Structure 1
Amino acid sequence: MQQRYSGNRRPSGTDGSDFAYRMVVDNRYTKVAKGKSTLSKILIIQTVVILLGLLVTLSALLNNEPLDTLAAVFASITFVSIVIGELGRKRSRASLLKFYIAASSIGVVGSILAVVQSSIQLKVFHDPSLLETEKVAVLKIACVSVGVFVQLFSVATTTSLIGNMSPPKRAS
Structure 2
Amino acid sequence: MQQRNPGNRRPTGTDGSDFSYRMVVDNRYTKVAKGKSTLSKILVIQAVVLLVGVLDMLFAYVNKEPLETLGLVCSSVTAISIIVGEIGRKRSRVNFLRFYIAASSIGVLGSVASVIQNSIQLKAIHDPSNWEIEKVALLRIAGV
TM-score by length of 1: 0.78
Aligned partner of 2:83 in structure 1 is: 83
Give the match's secondary structure for 1:108.
helix
Aligned partner of 1:121 in structure 2 is: 121
Structure 2 unaligned blocks of 5 or more = none
Amino acid at match of 1:76: S
Distance 1:6 1:41, change over 3 A: farther
User: Is it true that 1:49 corresponds to 2:49 in the alignment?
Assistant: yes
How far the C-alpha of 1:12 sits from its partner, in A, is 2.6
User: Is it true that 1:102 corresponds to 2:102 in the alignment?
Assistant: yes
Residues 97-127 of structure 1: CA deviation (Å, up to 9, x unaligned): 1110111011001100100111223211332
Distance 1:3 1:125, change over 3 A: closer
Amino acid at match of 2:108: V
Identity, in percent, stands at: 69
How far the C-alpha of 1:82 sits from its partner, in A, is 0.3
Matches within 5 A, 1:4-153: 4-144=4-144
TM-score by length of 2: 0.92
How many matched pairs?
A: 144
How far the C-alpha of 1:54 sits from its partner, in A, is 0.6
Which segment drifts farther, 24-33 or 73-82?
A: 24-33
Task: Say whether the 8 Å CA contact 2:2–2:13 is kept in structure 1.
Answer: no
If asked which structure has higher relative contact order (CA below 8 Å, sep 6+), I would say 1
Structure 1 unaligned blocks of 5 or more = 145-172
